[in-house]
Chain A
């Protein structure tokens, strides 16, 4: 009896289908286990009270009730320790509003420069992209050092701006989130620059040539040709940026600490989910919170895609 995979494979008529499925199966399987199963389990978990050791107890929607009570309490102005989810949400929305537009804008500008035939552009491309290759924890640690009261950033600012008083960035509730946002912008613009660069290089040269014959200068060409042609990529970058910013964890964890630093100024929703699951030992509530966060991210990106993603097709 001879049985082998290759003989069966040779005989089938749908070779391509099998090959295709085989190729994607690993990725799909991994995605199923670590993506969809984890999501589904979190959804299941969000209806239970559990402390990891004992058995799970069904509690209906009470975990979601905790989350919404937290938000309502926050709106009514409770101190940040009593409304951690609200605090995290508020911070992360401000953070997203700062980070996403700036990083997108910077990425386009950097890409436009990198796309020119300037001497040494390869060097700039590499140096802009370098932050994206470094672990975000290491990046955050370096910036913690740069942001210290006697650190490099204050040193530069005091020399650039006359009369500038050094800021204790990380220990001041008014500046902590801004400091984290600056690191995030520095760390991600280079990454998105590469996306824009690829999109720019795919724009047909003929269009520019035609525009040049019509007498359009470089600035006009940038705004009337490059930007419109980049629209699908802009949508992509903004959506990815939104998702990344709303889920931000690592930078806050290192720069502000698990409790969000002074006044909870660096507290994020992801940090709160982590604390809920592992310090308060309420995985059910953590799961409910992560589903609320998911709903927020899903609706934001969906609305954005609907509005701006469609025009492309």
Chain B
């Protein structure tokens, strides 16, 4: 045994001596390198002083390559107009808000960053966002749809302006509808389910694709059937789940997959409801574009994706958009919006505002939203713009049909609650727990997250 140790020791010594030789040789080199680095750094510092150039960091997630390219374009236009401000564009593809929060913890948060309505309260409450109402004029703010501003208001102050917005609508495959002998989109939730079954039976293609979980996709079903809007601010608000309409509609929504897929597969029948991965697709837009399902409920972000990825699958000829089906109390849809928030700890708040004003203002929205066709413009008056894509125009035309338009926000901890609710719902959809168990878990989550 001793021999082994001795051998290993010798080997170790050999490595150390070789290693030290290398490091010893490199030491002088590295010293000179750092010196030159210091020199160049001081040089750039003096340069920036002379030109008074200001750098701001702008972080967003990406809805695809085209969006990134468009943002790069608008940034270069901004830099041309404001030669003293440089914008560094940073794309965080996953867990965006979690990343931003962590960067606050580390003290390196960007100057301007996206904030989704569901995450806004956390950022506003903690004073992470600079109030935009300090800079923006009344006229500028009044251009925006007022209901989109609500999630970002607190104590009479406004903390951000939405860069754009989207709302849920029903996307349906016209060719598959024809094959199944259906002439028009479903009008009610029950009809939606019925249509899904008919299409599957007649064409062999699953009728409807949904996500497992997705509390925000279920809310319009509940509210359109007469449930109050969900709002969780204190532990007692868990009682929302005791509402009989909430229970009934939740069971309906969960059964879409639990019966429409899990049970069907078990019985060896063809499922009429699928999730994207069941048909080998990454997300709803992908499943719909590949024509592997006949209907999906999704937002406007799906439109440029379809145009880009599936150019032969044409709007109007092959697929169309309809308003969300109605419940017993009318039609309800969900709206999603994102602001460009300004970091309250930023050293260049004024310059950051110039940038935000440029991007979310009429000029920026015309380029980024209307012409590029990503989503819906958050500024009034683009409804009849000739550049507005017809698909988006059509979704906008549904607004008068809706009794209620809910912005994605259920209280101060929406983002966290949404995650936890969705986990419970997904579990019930897979048939691991009952609907009642899922409701108990969701109530417990509300109590724990909002208590203390």
Cα–Cα distance between A204 and B3 once the two chains are bound (Å): 9
Q: Among the listed stretches B42-50, B57-65, B119-127, B377-385, which one makes contact with chain A, having 4 or more residues with CB under 8 Å of it?
A: B119-127
Tell me whether B23 and A23 are in contact (CB under 8 A).
yes
Cα–Cα distance between A312 and B23 once the two chains are bound (Å): 35
Q: Among the listed stretches A31-39, A159-167, A275-283, which one makes contact with chain B, having 4 or more residues with CB under 8 Å of it?
A: A275-283
Q: Given known contacts A53-B128, A259-B426, A278-B98, what 14 new A-B pairs fall within 8 Å (CB)? A: A51-B126, A53-B123, A53-B126, A54-B126, A79-B427, A79-B437, A81-B423, A82-B445, A204-B3, A262-B432, A277-B102, A278-B99, A280-B416, A281-B122
Tell me whether A283 and B441 are in contact (CB under 8 A).
no
Within 8 A of B (CB), among A228-280: 229, 232, 259, 262-263, 277-280
Minimum C-beta distance from A12 to chain B (A): 17
Nearest to A84 among chain B residues (CB) is B423
Cα–Cα distance between A236 and B1 once the two chains are bound (Å): 15
Minimum C-beta distance from A299 to chain B (A): 28
Tell me whether B432 and A263 are in contact (CB under 8 A).
yes
Interface assignment of A303: CB less than 8 Å from any CB of chain B: no
Cα–Cα distance between A205 and B118 once the two chains are bound (Å): 69
Interface assignment of A212: CB less than 8 Å from any CB of chain B: no
Minimum C-beta distance from B91 to chain A (A): 18
| Residues of A near any B CB (own CB < 8 A) | 19, 23, 50-54, 79, 81-82, 173, 199, 202-204, 229, 232, 259, 262-263, 277-281, 283, 312
Minimum C-beta distance from B428 to chain A (A): 10
Minimum C-beta distance from A261 to chain B (A): 10
Tell me whether B423 and A279 are in contact (CB under 8 A).
no
Tell me whether B3 and A279 are in contact (CB under 8 A).
no
Nearest to B106 among chain A residues (CB) is A52
Q: By the criterion of a CB under 8 Å from any partner CB, how many residues of chain B are at the interface? A: 35
Query: Per DSSP, are chain B's interface residues mostly helix, strand or loop, or mixed?
Result: helix
Interface assignment of B20: CB less than 8 Å from any CB of chain A: yes
Residue-wise, chain B 72-104 has the 8 Å CB interface mask toward A (1 for contact) of 000000000000000000000001001101101
When distances are taken between beta carbons in the complex, the residues of chain A under 8 Å from B128 are 53
Q: What are 24 inter-chain pairs, A to B, with CB distance below 8 A?
A: A19-B20, A50-B105, A52-B101, A52-B102, A52-B105, A53-B105, A53-B122, A54-B127, A79-B427, A79-B441, A81-B423, A81-B424, A81-B441, A81-B445, A82-B445, A202-B7, A259-B423, A263-B427, A278-B95, A278-B99, A279-B416, A281-B98, A281-B416, A312-B1
When distances are taken between beta carbons in the complex, the residues of chain A under 8 Å from B104 are 52-53
When distances are taken between beta carbons in the complex, the residues of chain A under 8 Å from B39 are none
Interface assignment of B419: CB less than 8 Å from any CB of chain A: yes
Which of B101, B416, B433, B444 counts the most A-chain CB atoms under 10 A from its CB? B101
Minimum C-beta distance from A10 to chain B (A): 14
Interface assignment of B4: CB less than 8 Å from any CB of chain A: yes
When distances are taken between beta carbons in the complex, the residues of chain A under 8 Å from B8 are 202
